[in-house]
Amino acid sequence: MKSCLVVDDSRVVRKVARRIMEDLGFSCDEAEDGQVAYEKCQVSMPDSILLDWNMPVMSGIEFLEKLRMLDNGDSPRVVFCTTENDIQHIQRALEAGANEYIMKPFDSDIIETKFRQIGLL
Amino acid sequence: MKIADFDLYKDLLYERSGLDITPDKSYLLDSRLTPIAKKWGYHSLEAMSVSLRALPDPELVKEIVDAMTTNETSFYRDIRPFENFENVVLPYIIENAQRGKTLRIWCAACSTGQEPYSLAMILKEKQAELGGRRIEIVATDISDRVLNTARQGIYSQFEVQRGLPVTKLVRFFKQVEDKWQINDEIKAMVNYRNFNLLESMASLGKFDVVLCRNVLIYFDTKTKAKVLEGISNQMEQDGFLFLGGAETVLGVTDTFSSIKDVRGLYAKTGQHGTVAKTTMVGTGAGAGF
Ligand SMILES: C[S@@+](CC[C@H](N)C(=O)[O-])C[C@H]1O[C@@H](n2cnc3c(N)ncnc32)[C@H](O)[C@@H]1O
């Protein structure tokens, strides 16, 4: 079973996203900001990360930049999932090493096609 | 809806577009045609039916047909066919290219343009390997409404997230307020025109690749066979045909056969290693000895 770390400061979004990912057959863990996610990744690298941008303590983009510097930090496939929906943000995410990008609002169809595209489904 | 009216629209749609509507879809006629009746100044659907019986206005008929089409589509729909286009069809075409010959592709029911643009983006990325070969994508549909959207190439945030990889979004689209527009270079690769699949296809010329996806499902077997045979006449001998996930040539025509191990991809029988399979009694070869 593939694993996914759901990173979002909203508990509601985490719950919805987790439900969708579990329906798609992933085992899920959650983190409420980039710092918590970073600590979890240091303990155990997930196969994939669904990542919000704006969060307190450490933002998604900052987390991603730090993640990619870790040993083995290039292995998880990272999918942004954020309300930031302009091309500059998307470009910045790709430069930092994101594999896909979802603009909120999302639904299960969008998540499924994105994870299919990055080869995890 | 009265049975007589149902029959009127059923016949009209079948004759004009091949759409084979069954009585359980009668509610669809009601919900989609009532607004048209209003727009044309009829006080009810029945009033419109009366007038259609007397003297059908071609514009009204066109609008009715248009309203009854299902235009569901998405970028890289089902993914696999587009991977096959890139990894099976294109390598063959690149290897067997005849000097100076334009590569011609036909999207035979293109809806709002996602399918032809998906191909155009792949071809753009493969430009170097195609070695400057001229490419023409002809994209047709019976509905002017969807063709207008396709020509504009403007899509909602939701539409660009259903199947389009984000790298392609960034590379080939520009943001226009809260929408996304395909860039002019890709747009220029696609030539849109209104075309009814029931009509003679001769004016379209010959194609190396044809996509006829998710439209045959609305037709009965007889119409399917007629359309597929028409397409066959417009295809180069070694051309490729893509059908939708729920569509097949089996039991419909022997002209095409599926290419081994590549789901959804067809060629003229005998080409690309295909062998004819006649499965249904009473169709194709072997019937009526
Ligand atoms: C469900 S869409 C398929 C779009 C695209 N090929 C895909 O697979 O995503 C079917 C399209 O077929 C068109 N269509 C229906 N009857 C047709 C006909 N007789 N001739 C040409 N197009 C037709 C409809 O207008 C509609 O846009």
Give the model confidence (pLDDT) of A29-57 as tens digits.
Answer: 999 999 999 999 999 999 999 999 999 99
A90 neighbourhood in chain B, CB within 8 Å: 166, 169-170
The complex's ipTM?
0.93
Q: Which of A90, A106, A113 sits opposite B163 (nearest CB)?
A: A113
Residue B2: the pLDDT is: 87
Cα–Cα dist B254/B278, whole Å: 7
Q: Output DSSP code: residue B261.
A: T
Q: In chain B, which ranges are continuous DSSP H helix?
A: 3-17, 26-39, 45-54, 58-68, 80-84, 90-95, 114-125, 127-130, 144-152, 157-161, 166-172, 184-187, 221-233
Q: How remote is the C-alpha of B209 from its chain's centroid?
A: 13
Residue whose token pair is 């900001």: A33
Task: Please report which confidence band the pLDDT of residue B279 belongs to, taking 50, 70 and 90 as the band edges.
Answer: low
Look up residue A104 and give its two tokens: 């909120």
Model pLDDT for residues A52-108, shown as the tens digit of each residue: 999 999 999 999 999 999 999 999 999 999 999 999 999 999 999 999 999 999 999
User: Does domain B3-68 correspond to CATH entry 1.10.155.10?
Assistant: yes
User: How far is it, in rounded angstroms, from Cα B248 to Cα B229?
Assistant: 13
Residue B26 CA from chain centroid, whole number: 24
- Arithmetic mean of pLDDT over chain B: 93
Using a CB-CB cut-off of 8 Å, the residues of chain B touching A101 are: 166
Q: How far apart, in whole angstroms, are the C-alpha atoms of residue B33 and residue B6?
A: 12
Instruction: Find how far residue B268's CA is from the centre of its chain.
Output: 19
Is domain A3-115 in CATH 3.40.50.2300, yes or no?
yes
Interface test with B, best of A113, A118, A120, A121 (most B CBs within 10 A): A113
**Ligand 1 pocket test, candidate residues B142, B151, B195, most atoms within 8 A of CB:** B142
The count of C-alpha atoms lying within 13 angstroms of the C-alpha of A62, restricted to the half-sphere facing its C-beta, is 11
The per-residue pLDDT for B288 is 34
Structure confidence by residue, pLDDT tens digits, B30-77: 999 999 999 999 999 999 999 999 999 999 999 999 999 999 999 999
Q: How many CA atoms lie within 13 A of A66 on its CB side?
A: 15
pLDDT for residue B289: 35
pLDDT in tens, B212-234: 999 999 999 999 999 999 999 99
Contact A106 B165 (CB under 8 A): no
Topology of the domain comprising B80-280: Rossmann fold (3.40.50)
Ligand 1 near B215 CB (within 6 A): yes
Angle (nearest 5°) at CA B186 between B182 and B189: 140
**Could you tell me which residues come within 8 angstroms of residue A29 by beta carbon, excluding any fewer than 6 positions away?**
A3, A4, A5, A6, A40, A46
Of A30, A48, A42, A43, nearest to A98 (Cα)? A48
pTM, 2 dp:
0.93
* Cα–Cα–Cα angle for B212, B213, B214, rounded to 5 degrees: 130
Provide the shortest C-alpha distance from residue B274 to chain A (in Å): 30
As a whole number of angstroms, the distance between CA A37 and CA A58 comes to 9
Q: What gap in Å lies between CA B128 and CA B280, rounded to an integer?
A: 45
The residues of chain B that CATH labels 1.10.155.10 are: 3-68
Give me B47's structure tokens.
């009033």
Tokens describing residue B73: 């589509």
CB of B176 within 8 Å of a chain A CB? The answer is no
Residues of chain B with CATH 3.40.50.150: 80-280
